[in-house]
Amino acid sequence: MKIKIVYFHVTGDLYGSSRSLISVIKGLEMEKYEPIVILPEAGELVSELEGLGAKVLIRHDLLILRRKTFVNFVSLLMFVNHFFLSIPKLYGLLKQEKVSIIHSNSAIIMSGAIVAKLLKVPHIWHMREVFDDFPKLLWNMYRYLIFHLSTKIICISTDVCKRFESYLDREKFVTIFNGIEEDYISELDQRMSREEMRDRLQIPRDAVVIGNVARISKWKGQDLLIKSFATCKKPLNTYLVLAGDCFPGNENVLDELKLLVKDLQLEDRVIFAGFISDSRNVYVAIDVFVLASTTPEPFGRVLIESMYCGLPSIATNWGGPVDIITHGEDGLLVGANEAAMSECIERLLVDDIQMKQLGRSAKETIRTRFLVHTTVHSIKQEYQSVLGAKDGHQGKRQISAKLKESVD
């Protein structure tokens, strides 16, 4: 009998956590596992998952924590009401499916944890977010729920795992880094060429190009990167490419960035490329990658992508990038402030030897530490572990029942 795993995910897009989910499912042996993915919306992710043989269900009633959930008492009341309407339906659906494991692929989705508890099946909660912007009391309450509604908690970086240091049961926690497919770079020749992509972006082919790939968001630091780009000394033909779009409803963030670019008189040098489904088409066109997150990045999948493509990369010095980059050897870590980032970019642009050395070392670091087969192997070990523990508990109950019968 196949091991039926239900994955709860928070979006239908193809950003970092979605690509990580694709990598995990791609690594499952379909003769052994039967993946079902539940999404709150349709999107490009659906066809990717179905192409891998996963069953995809769209449920608009998933319990997902958003900032708007806690705006006021009314919004919180609506969330509670939503809970009582949605959970019974999901319970009935998954009871029919006879699932083996429920795997919540995000810290902000609650449905899987609650249904797993009701079904009495193992629940793995994948921590892909940090909650630094949450009120401390609220985070402590939610962290308590995460701990007690999980059989196993997977953290994607050392920094994420530190958020749970107060819990003594450390066996419940495991740190598993995201990984990248080994053939990620070998397929580059099937993508757009450097010249084609630069032509598409309307950037001169001989220009120096700095790039960033990320959801347009306050904490992703695109404003910091724009300001640092404006103040650093650089060749006249230097451009900045920002690839990514906004969450629906957050278009004001993009508007503010465009206004900033206008105020700094950089409209002919900063390119807003929008969402590009295959980020390799961005990496092939740029010379330096910068991850400018202004709060700790939970991991930074785009960082391992850029490094595996051989790009010299800069990242702010906290969160996941600290696990990935050894400063000065395979990348550069920098403080999340304009002066430090501007100086770092400036020094790198004038040192062609260091750029090449960092690019070579970066590729080797990813090849040896961050390939997806290691990630998937570790996750499958956790699947076997929680199933073994469940079987063990069942076996103990059966023995106990038999002993009771013999005594009676």
pLDDT tens digits, residue range 176-233?
999 999 998 876 556 889 999 999 999 999 999 999 999 999 999 999 999 999 999 9
Half-sphere exposure of 282 (CA within 13 A, CB side): 27
- Residue 83: pLDDT above 90? no
Q: What mean pLDDT do residues 22-43 have?
A: 95
Mean pLDDT, the chain, as a whole number?
91
Are residues 332 and 358 in contact, defined by beta-carbon separation less than 8 angstroms?
yes
**CATH 3.40.50.2000 region(s) of the chain?**
3-179+371-404, 182-369
| Top-ranked range on mean pLDDT: pick from 62-66, 208-212, 244-248 | 208-212
pLDDT at 137: 87
pLDDT at 407: 31
Both tokens of 368, joined, read 């040896």
Q: Which CATH superfamily groups domain 3-179+371-404?
A: Glycogen Phosphorylase B; (3.40.50.2000)
Least confident range of 43-52, 237-246, 250-259, 393-402? 393-402
pLDDT at 58: 97
Least confident range of 110-119, 221-230, 245-254? 245-254
Distance CA 24, CA 27 (A): 5
| Residue 82: band (very low, low, confident or very high) from pLDDT cuts 50, 70, 90 | confident
pLDDT at 247: 83
- Residue 18: pLDDT above 90? yes
**pLDDT per position as a tens digit, 333-381:** 999 999 999 999 999 999 999 999 999 999 999 999 999 999 999 999 9
pLDDT at 189: 57
- Residue 390: pLDDT above 80? no
**pLDDT per position as a tens digit, 127-167:** 999 988 888 888 899 999 999 999 999 999 999 999 998 88
pLDDT at 95: 95
Q: What mean pLDDT do residues 247-268 have?
A: 94
State in words which class domain 182-369 has.
alpha beta
pLDDT at 394: 53
- Residue 397: pLDDT above 50? no
- Residue 119: pLDDT above 70? yes
Torsion of CA 369, 374, 379, 380, to 10 degrees: -170
- Residue 325: pLDDT above 50? yes
Distance CA 311, CA 360 (A): 8
Sheet with 152-155, edge to edge strand ranges: 55-58, 33-39, 3-8, 101-104, 123-127, 152-155, 173-175
Least confident range of 48-62, 224-238, 323-337, 380-394? 380-394
pLDDT at 138: 84
